Structure 1
Amino acid sequence: MTIQSVFVHESAYVDEGVTIGEGTKIWHFAHVLPRTTIGKNCILGQNVMVGPDVEIGDGCKVQNNVALYRGIVLEDNVFCGPSCVFTNVLTPRAHIERKDEFAPTLVKTGATIGANATIICGNTLGAYCMIAAGAVVTKDVSDYALMAGVLARRIGWVSQSGEVLGPDLVCPRTGEVYKEVDGQLFPVTED
Structure 2
Amino acid sequence: MATRKRLADSWCGVVLAAGKGVRMNSARPKVLHTVSGVPMLAHATNAVRAAGITKVVVVVPPGGDSAQEFQAAAGPKARLVVQTSQLGTARALLAARDAAARPDSILLSYGDAPLITPETISAVTAAHTKQRSTVTILTARVPDPTGFGRIVRDKGGAVTAIVEERDATAAVRAINEINSGCYAFDAEWIWSQLPEIPRSSSGEYFLTDVVAAAIRAHRKVATVEAADHNEVLGVNDRVQLAEAERLMRGRILRRLMLGGVSVSDPATTYVDAGVTVGADTVVWPNTHLRGATRIGMRCQIGPNAILDGVQVGDDSTVVASHVESSKIGQRVHVGSFSRLRAGTSIADDVFIGNCAEIKNSSIGSGTHIGHFSYTGDATLGARVNIGAGTVTCNYDGKRKHQTIIEDDVQIGSDTMLVAPIRIGAGARTGAGAVATTDVPPGATVVGVPARPIRPKSVKRRIEVPRSGS
TM-score by length of 1: 0.67
* 2:319 maps to which of 41, 45, 48: 45
* 1:141 maps to which of 405, 409, 418: 405
Structure 2: give runs of 5+ residues left out of the alignment.
Answer: 1-274, 394-402, 429-439, 444-469
* 2:362 maps to which of 89, 96, 106: 106
Runs of 4+ in 1 over 2 A off after TM superposition: none
Task: Indicate whether 1:22 and 2:287 are aligned.
Answer: no
Distance (Å, rounded) in 1 between the aligned partners of 2:347 and 2:328? 6
Q: Within 5 Å, which residues of 2 pair with 1:1-150? A: 1-4=275-278, 5-34=280-309, 36-46=310-320, 48-51=321-324, 53-86=325-358, 88=359, 104-119=360-375, 121-138=376-393, 139-148=403-412, 149-150=414-415
Counterpart of 2:319, as a letter, is G
The farther-off stretch of 143-152 and 54-63 is: 143-152
* Paired residue secondary structure (1:17): coil
Counterpart of 1:111, as a letter, is T
Amino-acid identity (%): 20
* Paired residue secondary structure (1:59): coil
* Paired residue secondary structure (2:372): coil
Cα deviation code 1:80-128 (max 9, x no counterpart) = 1110122x4xxxxxxxxxxxxxxx3100111100210221x21101111
Distance (Å, rounded) in 1 between the aligned partners of 2:406 and 2:442? 7
Distance (Å, rounded) in 1 between the aligned partners of 2:380 and 2:301? 24
Structure 1: give runs of 5+ residues left out of the alignment.
Answer: 89-103, 159-163, 165-181, 186-191
Counterpart of 2:288, as a letter, is Y
Contact 1:142 1:184 in 2 (8 A): no
Other-structure match for 1:188: none
Following TM superposition, by how much is the alpha carbon of 1:150 offset from its aligned partner in structure 2, in angstroms? Answer: 2.9
Following TM superposition, by how much is the alpha carbon of 1:152 offset from its aligned partner in structure 2, in angstroms? Answer: 4.4
Counterpart of 2:276, as a letter, is T
Aligned-residue CA RMSD (Å): 2.4
Counterpart of 2:389, as a letter, is G
Distance (Å, rounded) in 2 between the aligned partners of 1:137 and 1:23? 33
Paired residues in the alignment total 142
Distance (Å, rounded) in 2 between the aligned partners of 1:128 and 1:39? 19
Higher helix proportion (structure 1 or 2): 2
Other-structure match for 1:161: none
Contact 1:114 1:134 in 2 (8 A): no
Contact 1:143 1:184 in 2 (8 A): no
Other-structure match for 1:94: none
Larger CA Rg, structure 1 vs 2:
2
Following TM superposition, by how much is the alpha carbon of 1:16 offset from its aligned partner in structure 2, in angstroms? Answer: 3.9
Other-structure match for 1:151: 416
* Paired residue secondary structure (2:345): strand
Task: Indicate whether 1:183 and 2:441 are aligned.
Answer: yes
Distance (Å, rounded) in 2 between the aligned partners of 1:183 and 1:17? 40
**Greater RCO structure (CA 8 Å; 6+ sep):** 1
TM-score by length of 2: 0.29
Distance (Å, rounded) in 2 between the aligned partners of 1:45 and 1:8? 10
Contact 2:426 2:442 in 1 (8 A): no
Distance (Å, rounded) in 1 between the aligned partners of 2:298 and 2:417? 34
Following TM superposition, by how much is the alpha carbon of 1:42 offset from its aligned partner in structure 2, in angstroms? Answer: 0.6
Contact 1:42 1:61 in 2 (8 A): yes
Counterpart of 2:322, as a letter, is M
Distance (Å, rounded) in 2 between the aligned partners of 1:137 and 1:128? 18
